[in-house]
Chains A and B, each alone.
Chain A
Amino acid sequence: MTRAEQIAHALLAEMQAAGAMPVATDILQPAETLLDLYGEDIRARAYVTDDPAVGEMMLRPDFTVPVVQAHMRSGAEPARYCYAGPVFRKQTGARAREYLQVGFELFDRNDAAQADAEVFALFSRLLHAHDVRPVTGDIGILKAAVAGLQTTEARKSALMRHIWRPKRFRALLERMAGRGSLAQARAELVNSLRQAPADELIAAAGQLVGMRDAQEIAARVTRLVDDADTAPMSQEQVSALEGLLALSAPATDALATLRGYDWPSIAPALDRLEARLDALARTGVDPASLPFEASFGRTTMEYYDGFVFGFVGVRADLPPVATGGRYDALTTVLGQGNAIPAVGGVIRPEILARLEGV
């Protein structure tokens, strides 16, 4: 047994001792579910293969999706699950393509703050003996901040859709503030669309081919013109949002800073953060020294939508030892009408073994 496998066994035993039921999932997963969740980008990260009878299948890139599906089919609540096994990710260079994950998922409708704290405290305890440092964040605050912008619903939903793509998010913000190359291209486009009614423009452009029909095109022309007739987002709003995204401080200080923004739309999300910090304090985690980064979790963990956390080792060349967070929205998508608040995380035993120098 390798050192990583020993670590995995020990972690799994600890998770069971913490009340989790061990579960197994298939390595081969239907690709369609994962493609619809993550988009085409996942083809660059996951191994996709073709089955003549059932279509495209994917080598399990993580456990969360199948565990959620299994729970939603038959699980009692609240539920704690744990698992260990290999996942498969395409990589460039020398990074591992197949590696172990040991995970813990908690499905609980009652006290979200308490559930968040339970999972974080468990991971903190399991990793206590290793040379790692924690980092936390809260995607829920970002979503609340976007939802509270003083601008149109269309702009807010466009930003919301790209919260997990920071570069695109920033480009959209710039365009909505009337700055940058996208704003200029948009202004030129709208100018051309103002020259005649949409149906005339469409007819003049030539034969319409494809499934997207004239009605859909005309509807977007209307939206574009309406958007151009709406005032750009104020620089004040953009700066406030960028300030929030850049916030990095110990959690207690971060909460005080965010409260200081006096931004009513994020107040409920801040109440949730405060409740979580209180719950963490009750489990023995000190919020006054717990690192909080407002943008943490934006690039790597698309399905997390509330509390997010990670544990990173001292070696900058290695991936994080552990990552996790709350993913209520994912259960809504997978549950087809049913939803259950959920929080969980995974540990990578190979990274721990490498940090030990084994």
Chain B
Amino acid sequence: MQVKLGVPSKGRLMEKTFDWFGQRGVSLRRTGEAREYAGAVEGVEGVELVLLSASEIPRELAAGRIHLGVTGSDLVREDLADWAGQLVEMVPMGFGHADLVVAVPKAWVDVETLDDLDAVAAAFRVRHGFRLRIATKYHRLVREYLRAHGVADYQLVDSQGATEGTVKNLTAEAIADITSSGETLRANHLKILSDPPVHQSQATLFATRMADWSENQAVLAAFVARLGIALPTDLKVGIVSAG
């Protein structure tokens, strides 16, 4: 058996992931020609590199098809209903920082907090006859956040890209999206509410609870020792629950 480690297959996230492991004595690299998604691991035995889209890594972990994976903590929380029951967060990796925030037009001088947004949503519904629209692709995280803060009379509208433009295009009144510097928001005449963000995301190494670890315990122990992180104590061993 091999421990399968899923890593983002391209871009800065891949490079930073390779750097992070490299600094800890584990060399990850792509093999074959430039366009081929194949990789190799050196510096530790029994670990196989699987190159995947970062957005597919949560699902692959939850299915138990990979044992370990690097992806954004936001994607795991958004994609998996009961993420903590399916995955173990092993270590935050200190890069890929981004905040999931709620933003409204800068010209809304009467709105600074979710308390204000809730009041505006009530008045908006009375005036316009429909619920105030918040564009996002993070439906689960945003809905849970707004519910926890008691915001009502809103609706989430799906936006898979260029979300900051939806307000100007009159397809939403507010947005919830990932930002690191806030520049795109400002350029689109939006401002971030002053409340704590929906989620502060960063690249994180996860382990799955959905695969049987019994044949891979030694490999995992050696791997985490090499990385200088703690062995997760509550991984299921001998109970195969992979779907």
Residues in chain A within 8 A of chain B (CB atoms): 35-36, 39-41, 43-44, 92-93, 158, 161-162, 165, 167-169, 171, 175, 182, 185-186, 188-189, 192-193, 198, 201-202, 205-212, 214, 216-217, 219-221, 224
Residues facing A in B42-89 (CB within 8 A) are 81-82
Minimal Cβ-Cβ distance residue in B for A39: B152
Contact with B124, one of A167, A169, A212 (Cβ below 8 angstroms): A212
| Apart from the given pairs A40-B155, A41-B147, A209-B190, 19 other A-B contacts in the complex at a CB distance below 8 Å | A39-B152, A40-B131, A40-B146, A161-B152, A162-B152, A169-B150, A171-B150, A185-B113, A202-B109, A205-B107, A207-B106, A209-B107, A210-B172, A211-B173, A212-B108, A212-B173, A220-B110, A220-B120, A224-B110
Name the residue on A nearest B170 (C-beta).
A211
Given A165-B150, A220-B119, A220-B123, check contact A198 B108 (CB 8 Å). Answer: no
Within 8 A of A (CB), among B107-154: 107-110, 112-113, 115-116, 118-120, 122-124, 127-128, 131, 139-140, 143-144, 146-147, 149-150, 152-154
B238 CB → nearest A CB, Å: 21
Q: Is B194 an interface residue (CB 8 A)?
A: yes
4 nearest A-B pairs in the assembled complex, by CB-CB distance:
A168-B150, A208-B107, A209-B168, A210-B167
- Tell whether, in the assembled complex, residue A186 and residue B109 are in contact, meaning their CB atoms are under 8 Å apart: no
On whether the beta carbons of A39 and B131 are closer than 8 Å, the reply is yes
Verify B155–A35 contact, CB threshold 8 A: yes
**What is the CA–CA distance of A158 and B170 in the complex, to the nearest angstrom?**
27
B189 interfacial by beta-carbon distance below 8 Å: yes
For the complex formed, measure the closest distance between the CB of A199 and the CB atoms of chain B, giving whole angstroms.
10
Shortest distance from the beta carbon of B209 to any chain A beta carbon, whole Å: 15
Which residues of B does A touch, CB under 8 Å?
Answer: 81-82, 105-110, 112-113, 115-116, 118-120, 122-124, 127-128, 131, 139-140, 143-144, 146-147, 149-150, 152-156, 167-168, 170, 172-173, 188-190, 194
Number of A-B contacts (CB under 8 A): 110
Please give the distance in Å from A65's CB to the nearest CB on chain B.
18
A307 to chain B, nearest CB (A): 24
Smallest Cβ distance from A253 to chain B, in angstroms?
A: 32
CB pair A43–B115 under 8 Å, yes or no, is no
Contact in complex: B170, A168 (CB < 8 Å): no
- When A93-B82, A186-B115, A220-B123 are in contact, do A210 and B152 touch as well, CB less than 8 Å? no
In the complex, the answer to whether A217 meets B128 with C-beta atoms within 8 Å is no
Q: Is the CB of A39 within 8 A of B153?
A: yes
Which among B140, B152, B190 has the highest number of chain A CB atoms within 10 Å? B152
Q: Which residues of B contact A44 (CB under 8 A)?
A: 140, 143-144, 147
Q: Are B109 and A201 in contact (CB under 8 A)?
A: yes
CB <8 Å contact, A210 and B168: yes
In the complex, 10 of the A-B residue pairs with CB atoms within 8 angstroms, ordered by the A residue number, are A35-B131, A36-B131, A39-B154, A44-B144, A192-B109, A202-B107, A205-B109, A210-B173, A211-B173, A214-B107
A158/B116 contact (C-beta < 8 A), A92-B82, A205-B109, A210-B167 known: no
Q: Could you tell me the distance between the alpha carbons of A325 and B173 in the complex, rounded to whole angstroms? A: 36
Q: Which residues in A have their C-beta under 8 angstroms from that of B190?
A: 209
Shortest Cβ distance from A203 into B: residue: B107
Give A40 to B150 CA distance when docked, in angstroms. Answer: 12
Q: List, in ascending order, chain A residues with CB within 8 A of B194's CB.
A: 185
Contacts of A208 in B (CB 8 A): 105, 107, 189
Q: Shortest Cβ distance from A91 into chain B, in angstroms?
A: 10
Min CB distance B25 to A, Å, is 39
Interfacial chain B residues near A217, Cβ < 8 Å: 107-110
Which residue on chain A has the smallest CB distance to residue B190? Answer: A209
B82 near A182 (CB under 8 angstroms)? Answer: no
Do A209 and B189 form a contact, CB below 8 Å, given A39-B152, A182-B113? yes
Contacts of A198 in B (CB 8 A): 109
Known A168-B150, A209-B188; judge A193-B124 contact (CB<8 A): no
What CA separation (Å) do A206 and B106 show in the bound complex? 6
Question: Cα distance A216–B116 when bound, in Å?
Answer: 13
Once the chains are docked, how many angstroms separate the CA of A212 from the CA of B139?
23
Q: Which of A161, A175, A188, A209 gathers most chain B CB within 10 Å?
A: A209
B120, closest chain A residue (CB): A220
A193 near B173 with CB under 8 A, answer: no
Q: How far is the CA of A256 from the CA of B236 in the complex (A)?
A: 57
Residues of B within 8 A of A41 (CB): 143, 147
Residue of B nearest to A162 (CB): B150
Interface centre among A93, A188, A208, A212 (most CB of B within 10 A): A212
